[in-house]
Copies of this chain bind each other. A is one copy, B any other.
């Protein structure tokens, strides 16, 4: 990621946290970031896009961390959950700016951001669910989604006291405490005939409800930016970026020509030249397409 872009994002995080999105002007952001207004619009097409970038910045960090924990085979499921809780506590305590933004919940008028946050929440809760399943075994099965949400809800409540009353969080103690409460709940549920409340499959069937064109475009942009930032600036990088632009242009049309998009996708894959990061991103972006 470009240096200036990062500066801008960090300034935005600080300001969106202190005040909020609407009460922070682009001028405020560029002043704090020490860049010009022109430069801002060189990196972001709009203030809204910055907001999206800010969220991506954080969520990506969290998602990566959760994936790392999960693939760490030296941890037990219980340890993984505790670890994840502690991680979230650290984030909140270490980055109040963003946190206070995050606590503002789904407030951001912007639909893309709303969807991103909902997606991210769901991802996190599904992650929790996986660990819970592994921890308590198949007996918890139908309740695993409820449990993940109960745990999530309990955790957030403590965050509230940290933000609002500055009540300190001892993340290790809190993680253990909540894990114990999870145990109480899990064994309580398993020992009594209980009907679950939520079913993950009902809420997010097949893990991905129909994406809107808008969110797809946002993702396409972020893939493009990722390619730009994460490849050596060679000829093929440039070509890939241009190809992504062409795809975005096409997708923006009322009736995009699917054959162009498919063709360009194919071309991009060939340009990727086996680079697994790029291929993964592209695959994720295009697989849901119809």
Residues in chain A within 8 A of chain B (CB atoms): 19-20, 22-23, 103-109, 118, 121, 149-150, 152-158, 160-161, 163-165, 167, 173-174, 177, 180-181, 183-185, 187-189, 192, 194-195, 197-198, 202-204, 239, 242-243, 245-246, 249-250, 257, 259-260, 262-264, 266-268, 270
Complex: A161 Cα to B243 Cα, angstroms: 33
Please name the residue on chain B nearest to A24 by beta carbon: B109
Given contact pairs A183-B188, A239-B259, A259-B239, A153 touches B157 in the complex (Cβ within 8 A):
yes
Interface of A is mostly: helix
Which residues from chain B contact A243 at a C-beta distance below 8 Å? 259, 263
Given contact pairs A154-B150, A242-B259, A263-B267, A184 touches B188 in the complex (Cβ within 8 A):
yes
Sort A-B residue pairs by CB-CB distance and give the 4 closest, nearest first.
A184-B188, A153-B157, A104-B107, A263-B267
Which residues from chain B contact A165 at a C-beta distance below 8 Å? 203-204
* Extra inter-chain contacts (17) besides given A165-B204, A243-B259, CB under 8 Å: A20-B107, A20-B109, A103-B107, A104-B107, A106-B163, A107-B108, A118-B164, A156-B156, A158-B197, A161-B203, A173-B197, A181-B189, A187-B188, A188-B188, A246-B263, A262-B267, A266-B267
Contact: A184 with B180, CB < 8 Å? no
Q: Oligomeric state, in number of copies?
A: 4
Which residues from chain B contact A20 at a C-beta distance below 8 Å? 107-109
Which residues from chain B contact A160 at a C-beta distance below 8 Å? 121
Please name the residue on chain B nearest to A264 by beta carbon: B263
Q: Which of A150, A165, A167, A202 has the most CB of B within 10 A?
A: A150
Could you give 21 example pairs across A and B, Cβ below 8 Å?
A19-B109, A22-B22, A103-B107, A104-B104, A105-B105, A149-B161, A150-B154, A152-B157, A153-B153, A167-B202, A177-B194, A183-B188, A185-B188, A187-B188, A239-B262, A243-B259, A246-B257, A249-B257, A250-B260, A262-B267, A266-B266
Which residues from chain B contact A121 at a C-beta distance below 8 Å? 160
Which residues from chain B contact A260 at a C-beta distance below 8 Å? 246, 250, 260, 264
Q: Which of A158, A183, A259 has the most CB of B within 10 A?
A: A259
Please name the residue on chain B nearest to A18 by beta carbon: B109
Which residues from chain B contact A266 at a C-beta distance below 8 Å? 263, 266-267, 270
A264 shortest CB reach to chain B, Å = 4
A242 shortest CB reach to chain B, Å = 4
A117 shortest CB reach to chain B, Å = 9
Which residues from chain B contact A268 at a C-beta distance below 8 Å? 263
Complex: A165 Cα to B249 Cα, angstroms: 26
